[in-house]
Amino acid sequence: MTILSRTLCLWFLALLPAGAGANPPDLATVLDHLIRSYGGEENIRKLDNVYQEWRFVALRGNRHGIDVRSIRLPRQLRVELTYPDKQETRILNGDTSHVIFGDEPARTAGQHQRDAMRLQLMRLYTPLTLRDRIDSLTLILEGRNCALSLIENGLRADYLVNMDTWRIEKVVGTLTVNGAGMRFLTEYSDFEFHEGALIHRKENKFAGGVHTAVLQLHRITLDAELDTGSFLPR
């Protein structure tokens, strides 16, 4: 384990609630618990193709806006961000990625932009998506504390699991910029079942320990019929 990886593990475990457990589960058991908690395989499959509309407040400047996401797991994501004074669209389609600012032509995303999109998509992985990547997962346990760590495309996402409810309540994404690791924390809350699948309706976002935004779910469509063109630059 590298110094950076060890530091991230210790930092992430500090976010977990304290507790004690006599028989800690293995990775497959944790994933099984998550799948059951999120509604079972049939219902979780509805989360593979999702359309979401969020209302958000960017805390710096108290800017209010709309975040529209089209998600096709595990490789496609379109995010449309509308602020009072500007609009930005981010498109990730497998190995290609583009950004669009307002009415300007689409541009190929730079490396850091592409990595940020990939990391956002990783944060949206369901328990089934994680199970499909079990060979790339590491289980972090400390008593009743539990986290799943996934490294993909050189990026790292750590999923905090509440072992009392078997819900993913926090995800820490790590980007490396100029040799330094930058951490982005998203907290999930206001859980409910929607068409048999467990979803969250609130997100709190932090960057480098600074609270940056609050998002509240406005509308969601599971098993959405998403146009392939949505993941292509227009």
Domain ranges of the chain: 33-231
Cα distance between residue 204 and residue 213, in whole Å = 6
Residue 27 in tokens: 């990775």
Among the listed residues 215, 223, 222, 173, the one whose alpha carbon sits nearest the alpha carbon of residue 199: 222
Q: Are 127 and 31 in contact (CB under 8 A)?
A: yes
Tens digits of residue pLDDT in 13-46:
555 554 444 577 999 999 999 999 999 999 999 9
Q: Can you give the pLDDT at residue 70?
A: 98
Question: Which position has the token pair 């979803």?
Answer: 199
The CB density around residue 14, as the number of other CB atoms within 10 Å, is 8
Q: At 61, is the secondary structure helix, strand, or coil?
A: coil
Tens digits of residue pLDDT in 135-162:
999 999 976 779 999 999 989 999 999 9
Tens digits of residue pLDDT in 160-217:
999 999 999 999 999 877 777 789 999 999 999 999 999 999 999 999 899 999 999 9
User: Looking at domain 33-231, which of 1.10.3470.10, 2.50.20.10, 3.40.720.10, 3.40.50.2000 is its CATH number?
Assistant: 2.50.20.10
139 beta partners? 148
Q: Can you give the pLDDT at residue 4?
A: 45
pLDDT at 221 over 80: yes
Q: Can you give the pLDDT at residue 91?
A: 98
